Amino acid sequence: MTRLLDACGKSRNKELRAAVVIALNTGLRLGELLGLNWIYVDLSRGVIRLEITKSGRRREVPLNGDSYQALVSLTPKAEGRVFQTRFIKTAYNNAVAIAKLDDVNFHTLRHTFASWAVMRGVSLKELQELLGHSSLAMTMRYAHLAPEHLRAAVSRLEGLTNSQRAETPTQESTQEPSEQVRLSQNSSK
């Protein structure tokens, strides 16, 4: 990614590096990025409001420090397009070639964002919301990147069936699991 960002920084398109940094840190699609208007960027709250999305539903995307700084570098205005040039895709493709990267397009930045998020512990449900996927099934393609989430899930149950936990069995512990659930539900009423 460093080679790509370096190539973007050397581009004649002065908006390119900021666009790539924002895409890598928000997961925005190219169309969402190019359609950004300053009236939908709330720097005080640190969010971008997307009015027109692929799914047809509005969503807010939070900014992290890197995406915030990239937006600020574009000289925020009261209104108007965030990106003045429509040639970001061409400039990006040129930067990819200069960086000598194969099979990389602008949508790769969205996949990179999702992959990085999952590998750093973002839940698939949270990722679904960030990406604006209409169903969790679309987001599941990234599940293989977080095999530890399954281990963490079952580790939360650790010790519940440990026979050394209690020296004398109680009525509750001698019951079948389904009976224990009923007992615990009744005792909480």
Q: Does residue 45 carry a catalytic annotation?
A: no
What's the pLDDT tens digit per position in 48-70? 999 866 666 788 999 999 999 99
- Supply the pLDDT for residue 156: 76
Is 18 exposed, middle or buried (CB count within 10 Å of its CB: 0-12, 13-18, 19+)? Answer: buried
Of 88, 114, 101, 87, the C-alpha closest to 25 is 114
> How far is the C-alpha of 52 from the C-alpha of 19, rounded, in Å?
18
Intra-chain end-to-end CA distance of the chain, in Å? 55
15 located within any domain: yes
Print pLDDT tens along the chain (189 aa). Answer: 899 999 999 999 999 999 999 999 999 999 999 999 999 999 999 999 998 666 667 889 999 999 999 999 998 888 899 998 779 999 999 999 999 999 999 999 999 998 888 888 888 888 888 988 777 767 777 666 666 666 666 777 788 877 655 444 455 445 555 454 455 445 444
145 located within any domain: no
67 located within any domain: yes
85 located within any domain: yes
Catalytic site residue from 107, 125, 141, 182: 107
Q: Which residue range is the domain that position 43 belongs to?
A: 2-102
118 located within any domain: no
Q: Does residue 17 carry a catalytic annotation?
A: no
Q: Does residue 142 carry a catalytic annotation?
A: yes
Q: Assess contact for 21 and 5: CB atoms under 8 A.
A: yes
173 located within any domain: no
Q: Does residue 92 carry a catalytic annotation?
A: no
Q: List strand residue ranges (DSSP E) for the chain, in order.
A: 41-42, 47-50, 59-62
What's the pLDDT tens digit per position in 90-121? 999 999 999 999 999 999 999 999 888 888 88
- Supply the pLDDT for residue 117: 87
123 located within any domain: no
Q: Could you tell me the two tokens for 51?
A: 């009015």
Q: Does residue 68 carry a catalytic annotation?
A: no
125 located within any domain: no
For every residue of 126-162, DSSP letters joined together read HHHHHHT-SSHHHHGGGGGG-THHHHHHHHTTTTTT-
Q: Does residue 29 carry a catalytic annotation?
A: yes
CATH number of the domain bearing residue 48: 1.10.443.10
Please state the domain count of the chain: 1
Catalytic site residue from 10, 14, 45, 54: 54
